[in-house]
Structure formats: C-alpha cells, structure tokens
Structure 1
Amino acid sequence: MVARRAWSALLALFVVAAVALALAVAAVPAVAGASTLTVLSGSMEPTLPVGSVVVVRPRPAGEVGVGDVVTFLARDPGSAETRVVTHRVVEVLDGPAFRTRGDANPDPDPGVVAAADLRGVEWYVVPWVGGAMAALRTPVGLLVGGGVLLLLLGAGLLLPAARPRADDRGARMAP
C-alpha cells in the first residue's frame, strides 16, 4: 500500500512538472506574444547553457539598454545569409543600433545590430528543455520517450491497488 501511494505521488509530481514545462515553453509565450528559441551554442554560457529554451518578447528598440539579452537577425556581410542570435547588448549606438557580445566571447560581435533586426528581449529561460525537445524530435528519441511513458503507465497499472484489507475495515468501525 505504501509503494502504491509513493508511486501515485511520484506520477502526480511527474504530471505536474510536465504540465508546468508545457505551460512555460508553449502556452505562456503564445498568450504573451513571445517566442521560444533553443540555445544551440555556448556563446552565452553560463547565462544561457546549451540546450536551454530562451523565451523572448518584443520590446521597442528605444527601450533596449546595455546589459539586456536580445535576440536578433544577424546578417552575414559577405552573403545574403542570416541567422538568429541571442547575445547581450554591450553598447547602444545612435539610430538606435546595438553592439552585442556573447557572455563567453572575449570580443564584441563583428557587426552592429540595427533596430529593424531585433526580434525580442529575454523574458525568461527554461534550462535543459531545448535539448530534450530536440532529442524527442528524432526517431530514436521518440521511440525512447514513448517507451518510458509506456513503462510508467504499465508500472502504475501493475502495482496492487491501495484497498483496505477486510480486518482493517472492521478495526476502524469498532467503537
């Protein structure tokens, strides 16, 4: 009976954690007009570890200041290619434009970020979830994740139900 209660409590905790993560990564950003991005490189460590999900929301360029962590569209000067980058503002220039640098990088980024290229400012970070989400999107990750879920459900069904024994019922009813 104790094992069943412990298992139920563990399963309930797992469900609450999964719902909280889903809300933090998908529902809250969608309602607030924010975006979620997975950190793919170590340029912002230890602030934003690889595999974290950073949630950014729009902010007017005039309200962005030194120290803010911003997500922007980085343009390669040699080609027409672009990539999304999340780095810290180290200088606000006229225009406004911004000089940025990754926390783990010794030097500022080579170009400046135009106000039109800003995508948002860091709102909050959910560690490790991006790595797990990326792993679950692979065929092997989907198979492993589904298998773990089935094992959890199966274990819950196989544990004996928490029912009072006949002699326990009689003992509780006695005056």
Structure 2
Amino acid sequence: MKIVKGVIRIASWLVYLCIACYLLIAAPIIAGYKPVVVLSGSMEPTYHVGSVIYYRQTPFEDIREGDAITFRAGEDGMVTHRVVKKNELSGTFQTKGDANQTEDPSPVEYKNVIGKVWKISIPYAGYFVAYSRNITVIGIMAAIIVLNVVCDSLIPGKKEGEERAENEKKERLS
C-alpha cells in the first residue's frame, strides 16, 4: 500500500509542477500581454511552431516597420507577421512572414490589428498548453490530486513516536 501511496504522491507532484508551469506561461497576462500559440512556420526562425508568443494592444503610432504584429485574418483566424511597410495615410500595414518569400497579398488595416508582439517567446510551450486544455487531461490531473488527498488521510504515515525512535537509532549508529 505504501508503494501505491508513493506513486500517487509522485504523480501529484508532477501535476503541481504542470500547474506551476501553466501559471508561469500565463503570468504576462498581469502586464496586459495575451498569449497565443504559433501554429504555422511562417515566422520561423523567430517564432517556432508550438511556441507561445505574447501580444499587447498598441496604438497605431507605436507600431513601426520591423515590429511583429498579430492581426485578425478572416472570420476566426489570427496571423502574426512582421510589418515591412507602414502607411500613415491609409492606416494600414504591409506584412510578411519571416519565412515567406513574398509580402502578404493585402495590407492589414489597423482596426484588424490585435496587438504588437512582445520580444519574448517560449519555445514548445504551446504543445504543453494545448495538451493541458484537454478535458480528459484536466480530469486525470484532478483525480490524481484527489487520490493523493484520500491516500494521505486513509494510509497513515509514520507516527511522531516512530520517527523519533528511528532518528535516535540513526544517531546512536553514527
């Protein structure tokens, strides 16, 4: 029974570690940055597929050529590409993916810009985020934590007297 308790305890620490990682990935939200997972290789090698990048709403004046921006493309899509030209008169940006040979076919209107991308990205964290959002994974993690609590209450650990006696025995042997 102690082996089962040990395995559950290790699994619960792994769950707590996953939760801590998830909180670290989400921490920039406090500063107004929103995370997004890179799904394509159009911005390689700057942002690898599976990376988490962060963007923040930025005024038109603060976006410059060379900045990466995230913008709405179509109904549900978001794209992150680099600004290659900024048109002050029309309020648009000509964009291009770092890995693409040509510029995007149509300019991006500022009203479609969601935000300017922060310089920091976390490679491969997007795979972790996608995996941890799965309802089955969440259920398994919750079950492991509940099992750990139940095991701690049903399977007693060493009693204080046993621990003291064991420590005294170790002291005599040394």
TM-score (norm 2): 0.67
1:45 positional shift = 1.2
Question: Does the 8 Å CA contact 2:22/2:129 hold for their aligned counterparts?
Answer: no
Residue of structure 1 in register with 2:7 after alignment: none
Residue of structure 1 in register with 2:28 after alignment: 28
Are residues 82 and 135 of structure 1, via their aligned partners in 2, closer, same or farther at CA, if it must alter by over 3 Å? Answer: closer
1:130 positional shift = 1.2
Residue of structure 2 in register with 1:106 after alignment: 101
1:171 positional shift = 5.8
Question: Does the 8 Å CA contact 2:38/2:50 hold for their aligned counterparts?
Answer: yes
TM-score (norm 1): 0.67
Deviations along 1:111-157, one digit per CA (max 9) or x if unpaired, are 101111111111221221111221333466557x749x67xx7xxx9
Distance in 2 separating the partners of 1:45 and 1:71:
15
Q: Does 1:170 align with 2:165?
A: no
| SS of alignment partner, residue 131 of structure 2 | helix
1:106 positional shift = 0.6
Gaps of 5+ in 2: 1-9
* Letter of the structure 1 residue corresponding to residue 112 of structure 2: D
* Letter of the structure 1 residue corresponding to residue 59 of structure 2: P
Gaps of 5+ in 1: 1-7, 76-80
Are residues 140 and 23 of structure 1, via their aligned partners in 2, closer, same or farther at CA, if it must alter by over 3 Å? Answer: closer
Q: Does 1:137 align with 2:133?
A: yes
* Letter of the structure 2 residue corresponding to residue 107 of structure 1: T
Structure 1 residue runs of 4 or more that deviate by more than 4 Å after TM superposition: 14-18, 139-143
Deviations along 1:83-109, one digit per CA (max 9) or x if unpaired, are 210111111112331111111111111
Distance in 2 separating the partners of 1:109 and 1:32:
31
